């Protein structure tokens, strides 16, 4: 049997678990680089998924802790989906994906990993990116470290924010 090493995971395994919402917690802190926050808008922010399906897996979340879309004002909703668009544009510029999975999981039964705080996933996809190891071993190989992904995308969303 072959082994795949993921030494960065030990920090999560050994780390103190908090009951606080990860989106609320990270958005209140001032260390965007450590938290992989790529962009802060007025009502929403863009953050890398720490446990991605693919490199460049981003999420857009409102600062407001809400379980569904109904609690967002029109202004908050417009900015949210504008950041989804700008995130896809930044990923396209950086990684040239052939497509995207963009979605929101509302509730645990729908697959929400963070139940209670709405967020939109933006996942770049390439033809053939589901390799054999996922199929035969239930393992996902991520070909780029989060720090490298962060550096690659930092600033691209902000530059997209000035486009109309």
Catalytic residues: 119
> Is 122 within 8 Å of 58 (Cβ atoms)?
yes
Q: How far apart are CA 55 and CA 43, in angstroms?
A: 25
Q: How far apart are CA 135 and CA 118, in angstroms?
A: 30
Q: How far apart are CA 150 and CA 9, in angstroms?
A: 17
């Amino acid at each position: 049997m072959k082994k795949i090493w993921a030494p960065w995971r030990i920090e999560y395994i050994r780390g103190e678990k908090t009951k606080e919402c990860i989106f609320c917690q990270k958005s209140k802190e001032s260390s965007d680089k450590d938290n992989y926050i790529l962009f802060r808008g007025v009502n929403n922010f863009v953050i890398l998924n720490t446990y991605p399906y693919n490199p460049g897996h981003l999420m857009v979340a409102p600062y407001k802790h809400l379980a569904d879309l109904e609690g967002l004002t029109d202004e908050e909703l417009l900015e949210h989906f504008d950041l989804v668009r700008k995130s896809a544009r930044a990923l396209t510029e950086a990684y040239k994906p052939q497509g995207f999975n963009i979605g929101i999981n509302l509730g645990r039964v729908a697959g929400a990993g963070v139940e209670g705080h709405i967020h939109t996933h933006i996942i770049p996809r390439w033809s053939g990116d589901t390799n054999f190891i996922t199929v035969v071993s239930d393992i996902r190989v991520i070909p780029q470290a989060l720090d490298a992904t962060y550096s690659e995308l930092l600033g691209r969303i902000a530059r997209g924010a000035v486009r109309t």
